[in-house]
Amino acid sequence: MVVIRADSHLHTPMYFFLFHLSFVDICYSSVSVPKMLFKTISVNDCIAQMFFIFLSAGAEIFILSAMAYDRYAAICDPLHYVQTMSKGICVQLVSGAWTMGFFYALLNTIFALMLPFCGPIQISHFNCELPPLLQLACTDTLTNQVVLLTSAVVFGSSSFLLIYIISTILRIRSAEGRHKAFSTCSSHLIVVGLLYFTAFFQYTKPSSVSSVVLDEMFSIQYSILNPMLNPIIYSLKNKEVKTALRNILGKFRFLS
């Protein structure tokens, strides 16, 4: 985030979205990691944590969708890219990502608040995600499961624009053109793949294949490791970011 702000060469739509993706990743990790240091959590705090997990995850999914649209415009309609991805449009896309993430979180939280929890409760997880929380309810949770699955599929399908981008790239006749196009969006494909594989499996898998260890492993992947890896993946595969970082470090060495 500091590198993108400091270097004027990185003030483009792609890095604007990457800046906000990094901010969402900070929020996403901060919701879960500090609370893991405590052994207990109140019901209200648990519901609040669940809300912010949904909010951060939803915002991340839609920012990734905005980044996919940016790559689509750059690859499939490069002549109109400046008009298509103007500053106003980028701001609207980021604002829309947070708005949709808020509604995604609000929808699932409202239905979770209707559930009764009775007796001493010990959640078999290190944070208050909805699937392990539903297992502690004293009533039938079919409605919550349907709402969760439906909202996850509807909201998550927004990033499937990548499938169209890939099919468009494959229709490029020259091998050099296909390689250049794939290299442009390869980092994005890696990030989306890591997030979607683990998160969708966690939230849509049948209860018959559920286990505490498996749930925790997948949850660690998309709530802690993914936010940590995202900036690294985008930076290591990006010459502009590495050049900007070298310039900033060089200025610091010169000043010292």
Q: Is the pLDDT of residue 186 over 80?
A: no
Q: Is the pLDDT of residue 50 over 70?
A: yes
- Spatial neighbors of 243 by CB under 8 A, at least 6 apart, are none
How would residue 99 be classed by pLDDT, with cut points 50, 70 and 90? very high
How would residue 211 be classed by pLDDT, with cut points 50, 70 and 90? low
User: Stretch 11-32: mean pLDDT, rounded?
Assistant: 89
Q: Is the pLDDT of residue 236 over 70?
A: no
Structural domains of the chain ordered from first start: 2-246 (1.20.1070.10)
pLDDT attached to residue 73? 82
CA angle in degrees (0–180, nearest 5) for 12-15-21: 145
pLDDT in tens, 105-144: 999 999 998 888 876 577 777 788 888 888 888 888 888 8
pLDDT attached to residue 226? 81
User: Stretch 19-48: mean pLDDT, rounded?
Assistant: 84
pLDDT attached to residue 105? 93
Regarding pTM above 0.85, the answer is no
DSSP 3-state of 138: coil
In whole angstroms, what is the distance from residue 46 CA to residue 23 CA? 23
Q: Is the pLDDT of residue 40 over 70?
A: yes
Range picked from 81-85, 135-139, 179-183, 197-201 for highest mean pLDDT: 81-85
Higher-confidence position of 5 and 206 = 5
**C-beta of residue 221 within 8 angstroms of C-beta of residue 198:** yes
Higher-confidence position of 35 and 14 = 14
Query: What is the overall mean pLDDT for the chain?
Result: 79
Buried b (16+ CB within 10 A) or exposed e, 178-204: eeebbeebebbeebbebbbebbeebbe
Lowest mean per-residue pLDDT among 8-17, 52-61, 81-90, 162-171 = 162-171
Q: What is the percent of the chain where pLDDT is above 70?
A: 79
Q: Is the pLDDT of residue 51 over 90?
A: yes
